[in-house]
Amino acid sequence: MDVAGLPVALLLQAAQPDTVVTGFDFLSETLARIDIPALIRALLWLFVGIPLLLAISRWLKRWVTRQYSAQQAMVVGKLVVYPGVLLILVLTLMELGFNLAPLLGAAGVVGIAVGFASQTSVSNVISGFFLIGEKPFEVDDVIQVGETVGRVLSIDTLSVKLRTFDNRFIRIPNETIVKSQVTTITRFPIRRLDLNIGVAYKEDIPRVRTVLMEVAGANPRALMEPEPTVFFDGYGDSSLDLRLAVWTMRENFFSLRNTLLEEIKARFDSEGIEIPFPHHSLYTGEATEPFPIRIVADRIPEDAGVATEAEETVPRGADSDAPDAPPHEAPPPATADPLEDEPR
């Protein structure tokens, strides 16, 4: 058998007209297996259904915003878009002939596993529904969560987006907001500004109160109804503490605070009212007399060390008129032993 000529024979057999499949025939067979009407319907779902869905969502958001609020409009828009896009994708795959039963079964198993692995995300989603239902704040409100203060940009499924006044973007999970104390600063149209002011103890409180009321009444951003009020808070370490409470529109809050502080300082300077700084005064007290010190002599002899020590050890509180103690006599000097001088 000629093994070397075997490849040539196979090539000649494959080149017979009944076994040759041209590229055109392969393309024809492929197109024959494809349902052209189903393909057109799938393309219509994608290129017509999705733009139509987005247009309906935008129209619903505008209508809900006019009727209710921007927050509810955002929620309605998401409830329309997300399920709608998912439905269009499923219909497109069905038109193309895909069997979705195994895919949906696998998706159910994967969904259970993902659910156990993403308990925090599920908690945020549930907390988001609580925020939407309770409505403690809305989009464009200014809120404070802990130490963070900012304007609400959006209330999403997982988190709330804020923009701070120094133009920072902050994302707070919904679960954190539900568990924390949230202050809605712009909930009501007016706000009260409280300024703590200290004056010196020598100042007359009624006079200071009159000056503060005049300054508040002259400011165009301050409301006269409710009228400004001055409270006496108490006695501070270095000042008499007062509190000026002024009502204003919420959009004028910060500008009123800046102008009032400047005007109060200028008015106090012109009226001669002192704003003290913290200081402390030390007193030795008057209930106990100082410890008496008596000079015994200008110069103490060297041999009077014992007497000086005795004088200094007099108990405190002893009567100074008591008679002097007899002078202490020094012991006589020891004499030399005569026996020690004898030669031995």
Residues 221-226: what's their mean pLDDT?
92
Same-fold call for 133-184 versus 190-271: no
Residue 205 has pLDDT above 60, yes or no: yes
Residues 171-193: what's their mean pLDDT?
92
% pLDDT > 70, the chain? 65
Position 197 confidence tier, pLDDT thresholds 50, 70, 90: very high
Position 126 confidence tier, pLDDT thresholds 50, 70, 90: confident
Higher per-residue pLDDT: 76 or 325: 76
pLDDT of residue 195: 95
Residues 25-44: what's their mean pLDDT?
68
Q: The CATH number of 190-271 is which of 3.30.420.40, 3.30.465.10, 3.20.20.70, 3.30.70.100?
A: 3.30.70.100
Residues 163-187: what's their mean pLDDT?
92
SS3 per-residue string spanning the chain: CCCCCHHHHHHHHHCCCCCCCCHHHHHHHHHHHCCHHHHHHHHHHHHHHHHHHHHHHHHHHHHHHHHCCHHHHHHHHHHHHHHHHHHHHHHHHHHCCCCHHHHHHHHHHHHHHHHHHCHHHHHHHHHHHHHHHHCCCCCCCEEEECCEEEEEEEECCCEEEEECCCCCEEEEEHHHHHHCCEEECCCCCEEEEEEEEEECCCCCHHHHHHHHHHHHHHCCCCCCCCCCEEEEEEECCCCEEEEEEEEEEHHHHHHHHHHHHHHHHHHHHHHCCCCCCCCCCCCCCCCCCCCCCCCCCCCCCHHHHHHHHHHHCCCCCCCCCCCCCCCCCCCCCCCCCHHHHCCC
pLDDT of residue 84: 87
Position 199 confidence tier, pLDDT thresholds 50, 70, 90: very high
pLDDT of residue 313: 44
Position 286 confidence tier, pLDDT thresholds 50, 70, 90: low
Domain boundary assignment for the chain:
27-98, 133-184, 190-271
Average pLDDT over the chain reads 76
pLDDT of residue 318: 45
Range scoring the smallest mean pLDDT among 177-181, 191-195, 327-331: 327-331
Position 214 confidence tier, pLDDT thresholds 50, 70, 90: very high
Position 36 confidence tier, pLDDT thresholds 50, 70, 90: confident
Residues 120-130: what's their mean pLDDT?
79
The CATH architecture assigned to 133-184 reads Roll (2.30)
pLDDT of residue 299: 59
Q: What is the pTM of this model?
A: 0.53
Position 34 confidence tier, pLDDT thresholds 50, 70, 90: low
Position 303 confidence tier, pLDDT thresholds 50, 70, 90: low
